[in-house]
Structure 1
Amino acid sequence: MELQQLMEELGAYAPLVINGVKALIVLIIGWVVAGLVSGMVRRRALANPRIDDTLGSFIAGMLKWVILLMVLIAVLNLFGIEATSLVAMLGAATLAIGLALQGTLSDLAAGFMLILFRPYRLGQYVDIAGTSGTVKDLNLFVTELATPDNVQIIVPNGQAWGAIITNFSAHDTRRVDLTFGIDYGDDADKAMKIIADLAGADSRVHDDPAPWVRVTNLGDSSVDLTARLWCDAADYWDVKFDMTKAVKEAFDKGGVSIPYPHSVEIQKAG
């Protein structure tokens, strides 16, 4: 009798165990399918020049979450919970969920705003609240950045949308500002001509606006010359570094000195 009772009890739990196994299989398959579909959409969007990369990435991420939601509904159906009942349950728990997930919901809303207004796009170099990097991904909840030394940084969309965003890649051109200090005994006009000639000889430096070189400061140890050069945004760092090296070498050849910081002591006879 005890064995028969045990078998009956096990038989009562059998449907639940079977449904649990089915639910696990559905979850695994659904997760894999969601990843495959999202990846396929992302690749197709990136390969299509008519679709913006940022928008394609965002749609792929949103599609993944929609598929996972459908999988969740299917799993609940296995346990006898109908979709209408699920909606009613979610409706009753809206306040609790909203309070518990207010940060996540804020990130979700901010993700839509970032896609709508496009303060940055994939591949652009930006600074978000003091954190700089190249935008690698923008999905429903986070923005992924990669620093110049290839460190991954995850920024919640809520923080990104509420922060000051500096986009260094938004425009096609950028201005390179360079400052060089020369000795008070050197010829400022000669030094300015050296800088202007080097800028004019560099094909990456734009003629319009024309290179600008002026004396901008009389420092404690040097006369400061500032050069403002316009170039393509992609050439910014190369122009900055190459011009700095070229001016130093040209100053050495032309007899223009770059002084070390120093102080001059003047003694007056009593």
Structure 2
Amino acid sequence: MDWIEILVPIVKSIALAILTFIVGMIIIKSLMKFLGKQITVSKIDNSLKPFLLSLIGAVLKILLVLLIISILGFDITSFAAILAAAGFAIGLAFQGSLANFAGGILLLSLRPFKVGDYIEGNGYSGTVKAIQILYTELLTPDNKVIYIPNGELSNTGIVNYSVNSTRRVDFTFGVGYETDNNHVLNTLKDVVNNHPKVIKNPEPFVRLSAHGDSVVEYTVRVWANSEDYWDVHYDILEEVKTRFDQENISIPYPQMDIHLTK
């Protein structure tokens, strides 16, 4: 009969552990569903929402496992020590991944950019598609997806082109020395002042900026809304070429060194 006295508590502990696991998973699932709805409608940045849900779910499951271990009669303190030792060994093996994880936390906390921003960082540029825990996804203008490790991205300079609502568009045009200076200035001013997407305040800047070896250089700087940047850039380049042709303003060809061999 001794074996029955030994077996009954063990069976009770196992049954209670199983019941706790089932009930706990149901509670966690219901709680995560509720929290998911609350976080979705909250003002938290969209980049941070998936990470928060994953983190909360992981913490709740770890607590449930520790509770089950306690019900089974194991020493949680010893188990925690084993987990710590295992975590240290895993950390040494996955230093790069941990650096990326820490970088992801840093990016999500400081938020130098968010989903939808056009950025440049670590030698790449594109629109932020997603900020994952280990990698940030960029979508390039030619529809390529670039995965940048968060550890590297968080330790490099980041240029965010989408933070401000306006951007300055800069141009330099070279004109032949024989062309009248006022004629060139008036033509360039006419082009930029008549473009519908060029912002009038600040006022467009059009000045002669340098005397080159074979051309006189004119600098043009205009402001536009960030979403209109490339439209203004290409429109003005095309319109200036058209107007220069109409006004007989010469654009010298680049001089090339030609070496003749006998």
Do Structure 1 and Structure 2 share a fold, with TM-score over 0.5? yes
Residue of structure 2 in register with 1:155 after alignment: 148
- In structure 1, the residue corresponding to 2:47 is in which secondary structure? helix
Aligned counterpart in structure 2 of residue 189 of structure 1, from 172, 176, 182: 182
Aligned counterpart in structure 2 of residue 95 of structure 1, from 88, 94, 97: 88
* Unaligned 5+ runs, structure 1: 1-25, 27-32, 264-270
For 1:246 and 1:49, the matched residues in 2 are separated by 47
Residue of structure 2 in register with 1:59 after alignment: 52
For 1:83 and 1:219, the matched residues in 2 are separated by 81
Change beyond 3 A, Cα 1:171–1:64:
farther
Deviation per CA, 1:48-91: give whole Å up to 9, x if none: 483322223443554565588689x59x97xx896936533212
Asked whether 1:221 is paired with 2:214, we answer yes
Aligned counterpart in structure 2 of residue 252 of structure 1, from 238, 245, 262: 245
Change beyond 3 A, Cα 1:123–1:86:
farther
- Native 8 Å contact 1:183 1:259 kept in 2: yes
Asked whether 1:110 is paired with 2:103, we answer yes
Change beyond 3 A, Cα 1:103–1:184:
same
Deviation per CA, 1:16-52: give whole Å up to 9, x if none: xxxxxxxxxx9xxxxxx8xxx79x959x73xx48332
Residue of structure 1 in register with 2:198 after alignment: 205
Change beyond 3 A, Cα 1:224–1:49:
farther
Number of corresponding residues: 226
What is the TM-score when the length of structure 1 is the normalising length? Answer: 0.72
For 1:65 and 1:215, the matched residues in 2 are separated by 63
For 1:82 and 1:218, the matched residues in 2 are separated by 84
Residue of structure 2 in register with 1:137 after alignment: 130
- Native 8 Å contact 1:176 1:228 kept in 2: yes
Runs of 4+ aligned structure 1 residues displaced above 3 Å come to 48-51, 60-71, 80-86
What is the TM-score when the length of structure 2 is the normalising length? Answer: 0.74
For structure 1, which segment, 238-247 or 106-115, has the greater mean C-alpha deviation from structure 2 after superposition? Answer: 106-115
- In structure 2, the residue corresponding to 1:215 is in which secondary structure? strand
- Native 8 Å contact 1:133 1:145 kept in 2: yes
Change beyond 3 A, Cα 1:111–1:258:
same
**Residue type of the alignment partner of 1:184:** Y
Change beyond 3 A, Cα 1:82–1:163:
farther
Change beyond 3 A, Cα 1:95–1:53:
closer
Change beyond 3 A, Cα 1:153–1:63:
farther
Change beyond 3 A, Cα 1:176–1:190:
same
CA RMSD across the alignment: 3.2
Asked whether 1:119 is paired with 2:119, we answer no
- Native 8 Å contact 1:57 1:138 kept in 2: no
Identity of aligned residues (%): 38
Residue of structure 1 in register with 2:164 after alignment: 171
